[in-house]
């Protein structure tokens, strides 16, 4: 049992990108913070499996809180990224039209972009599109160019938020899912498998379980999560040469559609699908959908017919029965919800955190003072286009050859202030075993290097 100690100002439920950003914002504003996460590590839900695009909000609903949060999140990311050594891949995005009807919709998309303050968006003719992206299928008609849509490292960014929160005193508890809760009129008593915690307020950032956590806390829920699965195929690095710009489809009412984009790690990614499902714990990949994604990629860029597949994965969007974010609160109980952060949360997280902190601070006279000179812990670079550890002398050799991860990087991750709790966490912090051989060469070695250092080991404990 953990000794949870004195009541904290804010208990955050869930350490996805939203929970991590929330922990940072509240800590920066001087609040005492605890994060309770059910999984062994941060980013174990929707936040581990997205397209990694930092969106401008060009196609978000005009005037929405979502748009506000996305743009605030985008701006703050750009402000802090150099301090934290967080990369961007400056790609821009093309919303490409492949038919008459799609081409006819581009002007209205441009209008929406301008209305949303994305002033540099502009239409490109077929010739301009082809000049920019010569490998596109011959049937491309025209496109909307959105220059400031960029690719980021979807794992290092939230890790940086969490690490700063931790450096400011926030406590992260893993394998500590909220089981039940009671409000005594003054304090929350939050029960987890690791013990009971008392807090003056609770922030629900539980993603796919946002509605059930809300019920646990306040007895009912204003919304219902409707999981929407997105599957992806990652092509080998050799495929990345065929495309520079993020390729977005003309959106439909239901989804942003299938995207073809580079990743910050030097691969090419196609996805996601948008599949409604009941199951909340089943981000499985399925054959017809993977085949469809590959066919789609080849249709967009015919040269991909020869491309090798490096990885496949799926994520569950925490969508709700309505399109908009579910940001609401019960101030008298100190309850705040950041739920239903469906498909733009990576971009919006820093903005959502500011928004929720704003609500939280409204009728609060107590609480700490904002931190004036917060600690900044730059992250090791994992982006392919920037210098990596293996390029610098003095490392002790490469462990993962496909992704060129050094032993020094593995050790640094394992001994960092917020070390990985499982193999997935180590992969997200270093890229190890994420490459074309998927551990053919290095898995056994990684098992030995991590022995006794992950709360969920690679090999079952009993068999050591």
Partner 1 sequence: MSSDPYDVAIVGGGPAGLSAAIELRARGVAKVALFERGDEAGGIPRHCGHPPFGMREFGRILTGPAYARRLVAAALAAGVTILTKHTVVHTGPGGLLTVASPKGIESIQAARILIATGAREATRAQLLVPGLRPLGVMNTAALQAFVYQEGRVPFRRPLIVGSELVSLSAILTCRSHGIRPIAMVESEPDVQARRAFFALPRVLRVPVMTGAQILAIEGRLRVTSVRLRLADGTETLLACDGVIFSGRFVPEAALAEASALVLDPATGGPEIDQHGRGSDPGIFFAGNMVHPIETAGHCWAEGRRVAGLIAAELADRAKSEPKETPGRRVIAGAGLKYVVPQRLTTEGTGTAPDLNVRALGAAKGHLILSNGSGTILRSQSINAAPQKPIRFSLAGLDLAGESSDLRLRLEPKA
Ligand X SMILES: Cc1cc2nc3c(=O)[nH]c(=O)nc-3n(C[C@H](O)[C@H](O)[C@H](O)COP(=O)(O)OP(=O)(O)OC[C@H]3O[C@@H](n4cnc5c(N)ncnc54)[C@H](O)[C@@H]3O)c2cc1C
Contacts to partner 1 by CB under 8 A: 234, 237-238, 281-287, 290-291, 306, 308-313, 390-398, 401-402, 404, 423, 436-441, 443-445, 447-448, 456, 458-460, 463-464
Residue 5 contacts by C-beta under 8 Å, 6 or more apart in sequence? none
29 versus 389: smaller Cβ distance to partner 1: 389
In the block, tokens 């209008």 appear at: 111
Site mask, ligand X, residues 175-194, x = CB under 6 A?
--xx----------------
Interface with ligand X, residue 53, by CB under 6 A = yes
Interface with ligand X, residue 13, by CB under 6 A = yes
Q: How far is the CB of 259 from ligand X (least distance, A)?
A: 7
Backbone φ and ψ for 296, nearest 5 degrees, come out as -65, -45
Interface with ligand X, residue 264, by CB under 6 A = no
Angle between helices 423-430 and 407-414 (to 10 degrees): 120
Which of ligand X, partner 1, none is residue 47 near (CB under 5 to 8 Å by kind)?
ligand X
Where does this chain touch ligand X (CB under 6 A) — which range of 50-58, 88-96, 107-115, 422-430?
A: 50-58
130 versus 311: smaller Cβ distance to partner 1: 311
Find out whether 406 and 389 touch, Cβ atoms under 8 Å: yes
Interface with ligand X, residue 420, by CB under 6 A = no
Number of residues in the chain:
464
Among 10, 11, 33, 50, indicate the residue that binds ligand X (CB under 6 A).
50
Containing H/E element for 296? Answer: helix 287-300
Q: Cα separation of 218 and 407, whole Å?
A: 47
Among 40, 57, 249, 272, indicate the residue that binds ligand X (CB under 6 A).
272
89 versus 178: smaller Cβ distance to ligand X: 178
Find out whether 65 and 325 touch, Cβ atoms under 8 Å: yes
H-assigned helices in 332-384: 345-362
Containing H/E element for 54? Answer: strand 53-54
Interface with ligand X, residue 343, by CB under 6 A = yes
Interface with ligand X, residue 38, by CB under 6 A = yes
Q: Count interface residues toward ligand X (CB under 6 A).
A: 42
Q: Cα separation of 421 and 436, whole Å?
A: 24
Q: Tokens representing 220?
A: 């009912």
Among 110, 162, 199, 208, indicate the residue that binds ligand X (CB under 6 A).
208
Q: How far is the CB of 180 from ligand X (least distance, A)?
A: 10
Q: Cα separation of 336 and 327, whole Å?
A: 8
Please tell me whether the peptide bond between 272 and the residue prior to it is cis, using omega within 30 degrees of 0: yes
Q: How far is the CB of 339 from ligand X (least distance, A)?
A: 7
Containing H/E element for 11? Answer: strand 10-13
Where does this chain touch ligand X (CB under 6 A) — which range of 118-126, 201-209, 240-248, 298-306?
A: 201-209
Q: Cα separation of 416 and 453, whole Å?
A: 12
**Phi-psi group of 431: left, alpha or beta (phi > 0 → left; psi -120 to 50 → alpha; rest → beta):** left
Which of ligand X, partner 1, none is residue 90 near (CB under 5 to 8 Å by kind)?
none
Q: What is the contact surface with ligand X in residues (CB under 6 A)?
A: 13-19, 36-39, 44-47, 49-53, 55, 177-178, 205-209, 213, 230, 272, 315-318, 341-347
């Amino acid at each position: 049992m953990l000794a949870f100690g004195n009541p904290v100002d804010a208990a955050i439920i869930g350490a996805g990108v939203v929970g991590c950003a929330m922990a940072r914002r509240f800590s920066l504003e001087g609040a005492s913070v605890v994060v309770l996460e059910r999984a062994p590590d941060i980013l174990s839900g929707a936040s581990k499996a997205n397209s990694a695009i930092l969106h401008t909000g060009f196609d978000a609903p005009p005037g929405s809180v979502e748009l506000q949060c996305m743009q605030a999140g985008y701006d703050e990311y750009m402000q802090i990224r150099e301090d934290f050594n967080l990369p961007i891949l400056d790609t821009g995005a093309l919303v490409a039209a492949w038919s008459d009807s799609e081409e006819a919709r581009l002007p209205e998309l441009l209008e929406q972009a301008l209305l949303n303050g994305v002033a540099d968006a502009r239409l490109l003719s077929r010739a301009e599109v082809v000049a920019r992206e010569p490998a596109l299928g011959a049937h491309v008609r025209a496109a909307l160019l959105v220059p400031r849509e960029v690719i980021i490292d979807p794992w290092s960014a939230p890790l940086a938020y969490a690490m700063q929160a931790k450096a400011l005193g926030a406590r992260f508890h893993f394998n500590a899912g909220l089981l039940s809760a009671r409000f005594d009129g003054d304090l929350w008593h939050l029960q987890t498998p690791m013990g009971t915690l008392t807090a003056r307020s609770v922030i629900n950032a539980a993603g796919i379980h946002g509605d059930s956590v809300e019920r646990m806390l306040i007895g009912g829920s204003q919304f219902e999560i409707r999981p929407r699965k997105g599957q992806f195929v990652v092509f080998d690095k050799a495929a990345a040469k065929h495309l520079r710009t993020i390729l977005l489809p003309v959106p439909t009412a239901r989804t942003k559609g299938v995207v073809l984009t580079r990743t910050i790690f030097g691969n090419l990614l196609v996805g996601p699908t948008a599949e409604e499902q009941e199951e909340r714990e089943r981000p499985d990949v399925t054959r017809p959908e993977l085949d469809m994604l590959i066919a789609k990629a080849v249709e967009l860029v015919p040269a991909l017919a020869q491309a090798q597949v490096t990885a496949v994965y799926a994520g569950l969007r925490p969508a709700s029965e309505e399109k908009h974010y579910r940001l609401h609160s019960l101030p008298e109980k100190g309850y705040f919800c950041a739920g239903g952060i469906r498909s733009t949360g990576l971009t919006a997280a820093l903005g959502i955190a500011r928004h929720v902190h704003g609500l939280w601070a409204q009728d609060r006279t107590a609480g700490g003072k904002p931190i004036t000179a917060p600690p900044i812990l730059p992250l090791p670079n994992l982006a392919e286009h920037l210098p990596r550890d293996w390029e610098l002398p003095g490392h002790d050799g490469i462990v993962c050859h496909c992704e060129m991860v050094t032993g020094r990087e593995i050790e640094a991750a394992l001994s960092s202030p917020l070390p990985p709790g499982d193999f997935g966490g180590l992969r997200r912090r270093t890229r190890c075993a994420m490459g074309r051989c998927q551990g053919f060469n290095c898995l056994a070695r990684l098992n030995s290097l991590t022995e006794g250092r992950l709360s969920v080991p690679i090999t079952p404990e009993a068999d050591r």
